[in-house]
Amino acid sequence: MADTLKLIEKNIRPGVTTKELDLLAEDFIHSQGAKPAFKGYHGYPATACISIDEEVVHGIPGKRVLVEGQIVSVDLGAIVDGYYGDSAATFPVGEISDEKRKLLEVTKRSLEAALAKVKAGTKLGVISSTVQQVAEEAGYSVVRDLVGHGIGRAMHEDPQIPNFGSANEGPVLDKGMVLAIEPMVNVGDYKVLTKADGWTIVTADGSASAHFEHTVAVRETGGDILTLS
């Protein structure tokens, strides 16, 4: 997953279409002996979810051309030997505003802070509350209608992993659990809407949103991030 995202990042620039990025991802995943996990999943028509600016997640790649100043969230899944991996990152298109740059930094930091809390014996709520704290201390909001999830032989498994809540809530993490932790952070309000295509989720107020995600295995001494190169 990490190498696929790196390839996409190298090709994100003004003038490129989201469909071109999607085809790059699909070809590369196949070249590594893996299968795209999203394509056909509940009818989803593409390999990657590519979401721009106010689009939070599940943007469908197509003829849309990237423009200088946008931010682009790329969410990818792959299947290797029957196991699923899920990862996402948000990238700038050329030069972006200071506000958007800060949004990317804060969202990435919220994920890193949450990953640092992963350890057998820790309550799931610690993960959720950590994401919320980092985002809200920076003046942003976390999306509440969408959550991270367990992952393994299926794309979405228990438990659900909200990006908000009390540190005292949720089940205790057990050694061997695998989680997809994915902060979705908005500049404005946390409320979201689904566009007419039935897939693309956008901020209700039109503010920019960023998304970062890693798949991590729970160990006795911490988290083992599985979606790093």
Sign of the C-alpha dihedral computed for residues 175, 128, 76 and 35 taken in this order: positive
Query: How large is the angle between the packed helices 2-11 and 18-31, nearest 10 degrees?
Result: 150
pLDDT number for residue 144: 98
Q: Which is higher by pLDDT, 111 or 1?
A: 111
Q: Which amino acid is at 177?
A: M
Closest CA to 17 of 52, 55, 53, 43: 52
Burial zone of 134 (CB within 10 Å; 0-12 exposed, 13-18 middle, 19+ buried) = buried
What's the CA angle centered on 28, arms 25 and 31, to 5 degrees? 150
Instruction: Work out the average pLDDT over 15-44.
Output: 98
Tell me which residue range forms the domain holding 104: 2-225
Percentages (nearest 5) of helix, strand, coil residues in the chain: 25, 30, 45
Q: What is the mean pLDDT of residues 53-61?
A: 98
Q: What region does 49 belong to: left with phi over 0, alpha with psi -120 to 50, or beta?
A: beta
Calculate mean pLDDT across residues 106-111: 98
Position 1 scores a pLDDT of: 83
Average pLDDT over residues 61-79: 98
Count structural domains, the chain: 1
pLDDT in tens, 113-131: 999 999 999 999 999 999 9
d(CA 54, CA 26): 25
User: Tell me: the pLDDT tens digits for 77-98?
Assistant: 999 999 999 999 999 999 999 9
**CATH at 183:** 3.90.230.10
**pLDDT category of residue 211 using cuts at 50, 70 and 90:** very high
Average of per-residue pLDDT values in the chain: 97
- Pair 74, 91: CB distance under 8 Å: yes
Question: In this predicted model, what pLDDT tens digit does every residue of 146-192 receive, in sequence order?
Answer: 999 999 999 999 999 999 999 999 999 999 999 999 999 999 999 99
User: What is d(CA 200, CA 54) in angstroms, rounded to the nearest whole number?
Assistant: 10
Q: What is the pLDDT of residue 16?
A: 98
Label residue 229 by pLDDT band (50, 70, 90): confident
Which amino acid is present at 8?
Answer: I
Is residue 213 within a helix (H) or strand (E), and if so which, with residue range? none
